[in-house]
Structure 1
């Protein structure tokens, strides 16, 4: 099957729409409207590229040849806005453990509830509130990760939890991956015969060599493949991670979908800039250039790279907002330097910390997206970040130099060439910070949730029904033959 992933051109009027009908392996028909004309198709094994032209400008959209048929268009799916019962399995807890997906899941739950869905959340028991926007929360007994003691893990397969989920009667199960709880979610989904979606949040194969033995990378990929091939749909936080999973053949390409980025642009806003907070973050020298970093302090975040950066910037100050297992070692690395470690900040204090810096620096090469980069940009602070992981999804090629800068991994000279001009030029910081803020205002958690709820969940249910029909097909044909009964439709 040929499935087309259309490029979007917000400035195009009227809006471009593309549909496909496959008549043979060699024939592709495009229905086009507006001013865009198909000028050529370049095919290669397993994929192709459609070149689209408007007013002498070329854009490219990929055409993939999939083994499986794709789900129908949204308007063809019955009941796409019908309220559902959704069971979320999230590990570790988005209510206690501070990580990149905390805001993602909290906003996701909030807007699912606002859209009328019943939500149950199964998570590790630490810090679980009694309720969250009316969602039912269930804590599962957990144990510390052997190589990362501050990360609680849980299988979530006790009779109590199985009974709770069964009584909830979910229409769909959604589990965070990878981890331990996702195995429990998969077992319960198969037991109850309901569709399961897995969202991939931590690129564990990259972390393994930093925390344990490199030979575990291959077995980890096998585990990820087992999980996601059993899922009906995989959600990824960035296109870069989607490409990694597709390249590793984790699951079929048409079952990997993007969970759109979002940011709370009201909580992270330039108006929270505070002279008092700047005084605190700069160690009492607010007139000095101030670099900030917000996030979990882990060895995989490449934060030691910032020591080399600060050695070259004797007049600058740096503040680390956050906590993690690498904090003590990082404090030793920065001993005697103008570096402040605030620990965890929340609420308005966190908003003030973002907005009170001059430049936000992100050296981590392992980010599946980098939500803290979104929050810094929303706060009107220019960003200098490594060109790796999901960060180029935030600062794209056409936006680099306008909303932020990217530097090549490990290249100190490249990093300094972007950072020094920003620290030295207040006008440049203000222009870039304003552009970053304006760019972030288009990303809304409500819209991201609506897309998952109305499109991606529907696609998962469609794939699940198709798989079920294929599994039951031989039995169905046998009984039709024996009893001469009519064909049963599952779609």
Structure 2
């Protein structure tokens, strides 16, 4: 499959962000395919200051010096080119400040290091095995493909419901405690002597921790103890969640914690360019130490072929189990008892931060449609009360083929959340052949960019009930349009591949982290070496 056949351009101009001043931009682009990534000769990990996954040319020399003007992390940013393939890099350019110049070292990795097996320690909180969230599939596929590539992997996560191993990767459960404001989220510091000794015996080449959280502090401490590079991947936009769950004045302290963590990291991975821009604007990371964790979706598990009339009836039913027993015994056509109505579905964690209450006002204006909520969470009971007496179904958690059928059996997928760092459920819905109507917020515009609106899905203004209703009604009343957009959405997601995304992290982004780590060590040890040479000079050789 040619993964570079289509491209997308995502505008991150400062007019969209109050913290970023207006400046001119300079561009640098790269192209990629499933088998190789190529760039212009000057392309490197840091030749573009915010190269979210930009690839390096394959050279034997380990270091190249590139002269460029110094730059501000808060300069105007714009994503100028991005292949929409799963293995694509994304190049963000920034306006260059005038004045002084500085030397920047660009890491050019030895091609042999790409295939050399690594020892990778993953610290993931909460567990990608027991806790259902958007990153569950991301980390499970990541571990799977790292193992297939021959890497040794050890996973440290919260202790409840974890397997002893996963695709041959050893899993260590760390005793956890519930998050004070979100009781279903387990947290753990993971700094027990048992875990420290396990990781020390493992001798990792690199530590990769999910952030923000509590466990990332333990991962950072162990990385410093063992003197190994640490990569942090940012998955939950906690500053957006805080006002929904607790006091708004805690937002700034949370940003201070995020800045402390990610400034200490050797590399930060983000799931979308929009989140990367937020981290840079907040000063949480240096622009040239930010990379994009490319999108991926399992297009076999999420597929239109799973569409099921039985599941569709289940998602539309308001009858009790005795009714279905009667239908089964007498072999009746269940659909004849239920008038056909367009079916809107939402899949995901049911939390207050997901803005699901907006859908009550939306569905009030769409009496001709039904809605099904697939998922569970702390806000479910309140949401069920809110939708009492309405044509709404709450299925609870579905997994495996049932989940695949639920996606494929709907007519339209709706996502009102404004806090998604990417929105993997949107990708899964698109892969299932559903047109999507989602809020234009967070990482979702990375999935449905402006030039694709109306082709692979629709975006509405966050919190705007009328805008959401208008776009839903367009799809609910026009089956042909639904099918055209659903087919285009499916074709778009076929370009995204977890294997390619994992390969990029393993071969390029981990390599960049190791390079930055070595550079930090040299900066720390350089003055010490200079002082030692001054205090203890080597006597000149005496010629006989």
Q: State the TM-score bracket (shorter-chain normalisation).
A: 0.7 to 0.9
2:93 to 57, 62, 67: 62
- In the aligned structure 2, how far is the partner of 1:51 from the partner of 1:383? 23
In structure 2, the CA distance between the partners of 1:472 and 1:234, relative to structure 1 (3 Å rule), is same
Secondary structure of the residue aligned to 2:107 is coil
In structure 2, the CA distance between the partners of 1:485 and 1:109, relative to structure 1 (3 Å rule), is farther
CA drift of 1:109 comes to: 0.2
**Does 1:325 find its partner at 2:371?**
no
**Does 1:266 find its partner at 2:300?**
yes
1:34-113 matches, within 5 Å, as 62-63=93-94, 65=96, 69=104, 71-74=106-109, 76=110, 79-113=113-147
The residue that corresponds to 1:416 in the other structure is 469
- In the aligned structure 2, how far is the partner of 1:16 from the partner of 1:173? 28
Cα contact 2:272–2:422 (8 A) shared by 1: yes
- In the aligned structure 1, how far is the partner of 2:114 from the partner of 2:464? 48
1:294 to 325, 343, 347: 347
1:244 to 274, 278, 285: 278
- In the aligned structure 2, how far is the partner of 1:52 from the partner of 1:182? 32
The residue that corresponds to 2:40 in the other structure is 17
- In the aligned structure 2, how far is the partner of 1:411 from the partner of 1:185? 41
Cα contact 2:311–2:405 (8 A) shared by 1: yes
Cα contact 2:418–2:462 (8 A) shared by 1: yes
**Does 1:351 find its partner at 2:369?**
no
Secondary structure of the residue aligned to 2:451 is coil
Q: Structure 1 unaligned runs (5+)?
A: 22-41, 54-59, 487-491
CA drift of 1:207 comes to: 0.5
- In the aligned structure 1, how far is the partner of 2:429 from the partner of 2:139? 19
**Does 1:161 find its partner at 2:195?**
yes
**Does 1:386 find its partner at 2:409?**
no
Larger RCO, structures 1/2 (Cα 8 Å, 6+ apart): 2
Instruction: Give TM-score scaled by structure 2 length.
Output: 0.79
Cα contact 1:4–1:20 (8 A) shared by 2: no
Cα contact 2:366–2:469 (8 A) shared by 1: no
1:339 to 389, 392, 404: 392
Secondary structure of the residue aligned to 2:184 is strand
Cα contact 2:71–2:95 (8 A) shared by 1: no
Secondary structure of the residue aligned to 1:79 is helix
Deviations 1:373-403 (A, max 9, x none): 0000000000000000000000011111100
Q: How large is the Cα RMSD of the aligned pairs?
A: 2.7
Aligned residue pair count: 456
Deviations 1:295-332 (A, max 9, x none): 00000000000000100011110000000000000000
The residue that corresponds to 2:249 in the other structure is 215
Secondary structure of the residue aligned to 2:437 is strand
Cα contact 2:80–2:93 (8 A) shared by 1: no
Secondary structure of the residue aligned to 1:170 is coil
- In the aligned structure 2, how far is the partner of 1:296 from the partner of 1:50? 32
In structure 2, the CA distance between the partners of 1:184 and 1:401, relative to structure 1 (3 Å rule), is same
Q: Structure 2 unaligned runs (5+)?
A: 1-24, 45-68, 82-90, 319-337, 540-544
In structure 2, the CA distance between the partners of 1:89 and 1:476, relative to structure 1 (3 Å rule), is same
CA drift of 1:480 comes to: 3.1
In structure 2, the CA distance between the partners of 1:48 and 1:364, relative to structure 1 (3 Å rule), is closer
Secondary structure of the residue aligned to 2:421 is coil
Cα contact 1:6–1:18 (8 A) shared by 2: no
Secondary structure of the residue aligned to 2:233 is strand
Secondary structure of the residue aligned to 1:136 is strand
Cα contact 1:232–1:463 (8 A) shared by 2: yes
In structure 2, the CA distance between the partners of 1:124 and 1:366, relative to structure 1 (3 Å rule), is same
CA drift of 1:51 comes to: 12
> Runs in 1 of length 4+ with deviation above 6 angstroms?
42-46, 48-53
1:88-237 matches, within 5 Å, as 88-237=122-271
In structure 2, the CA distance between the partners of 1:183 and 1:5, relative to structure 1 (3 Å rule), is farther
In structure 2, the CA distance between the partners of 1:186 and 1:50, relative to structure 1 (3 Å rule), is closer
- In the aligned structure 1, how far is the partner of 2:531 from the partner of 2:408? 67
Secondary structure of the residue aligned to 1:393 is helix
- In the aligned structure 2, how far is the partner of 1:280 from the partner of 1:459? 49
Secondary structure of the residue aligned to 1:69 is strand
